[in-house]
Amino acid sequence: MTKLVLLSDNHTKIHGIHIPDSDILVHAGDISSKGEKYTIEEFFEWMKFLTHVKYKVFIAGNHDKSFDTKYGGKQKWLLDLIEDGKQHGIYYLENSGVTLDGIRFYGMPWTPWFYGDFWAFNAKPEEMKEHVNAIPECDVLITHGPPKNILDRTNNGGGHVGCPELKRRIEELQPTLAVFGHIHEGNGYMKLGSTDCFNVSLLDELYNHVNQPIIYNYEHLL
């Protein structure tokens, strides 16, 4: 059994997050407010400090603008942080995967179009479909946004704002675990077919730190 600790959407707020002894930390994006260099550097230093966690896997979210090449390309300081992070068991995934302790992780940061180019990894329907269709078979799928009707209801208007294409792909692939955030008020657990789905946003819609990470015991099938 591998112990995973799941979290998302801390938006620079790392103090007060309790990370218990575990094997792999999984973060589903929005580590910053606008992708500011100092906040990204602080996040990497925090992950390095978590020596009681063997591996850390994370993706970017719509607030993490420095990771999105549409704003001028990833800067050298960021590429250096990502590369150095591997020496400390830190893995950044962007439409890519990694296998750790025999578990196949895949990370995809894109979310459906919302307020245009103001946000990072913002995709129009056809582009979103391409990114979702590229998701391969995996054990743990990490996306920033939720699938449609799964922990995706907003308090502002009460609508379900998750991605229908992502829901379809999860139903097709049936990974063991789907981890996401983005909709802060959606924190919780649901089942989609045989997939355990967790919205692990730490902050509420007012950006108050109200939740702690979720522990998930991943049982390896023989």
Alpha carbons 178 and 150: distance in angstroms, whole number: 11
How many domains are contained in the chain?
A: 1
| Cα 214 from chain centroid (whole Å) | 13
Per-residue pLDDT of the chain (222 residues; tens, 9 = 90+): 999 999 999 999 998 899 999 999 999 999 999 999 999 999 999 999 999 999 999 999 999 999 999 888 899 999 999 999 999 999 999 999 999 999 999 999 999 998 777 899 999 999 999 999 999 999 999 999 999 999 988 887 668 889 999 999 999 999 999 999 999 999 999 999 999 999 999 999 999 999 999 999 998 865
Domain that holds residue 136: 2-218
Burial of 168 (0-12, 13-18, 19+ CB in 10 A): middle
Q: Exposure string (b/e) for 139-157, b if CB count within 10 Å is 16 or more?
A: bbbbbbbbbbebbbbeeee
Q: With a threshold of 0.75, does the pTM exceed it? A: yes
Residues 150/167, Cβ–Cβ less than 8 Å: yes
Number of H helices, E strands in the chain: 4, 13
If DSSP codes are grouped into helix, strand and coil, which group holds residue 124? coil
155, 158, 159, 163: CA torsion to nearest 10:
30
Q: What is the CATH number of the domain that holds 182?
A: 3.60.21.10
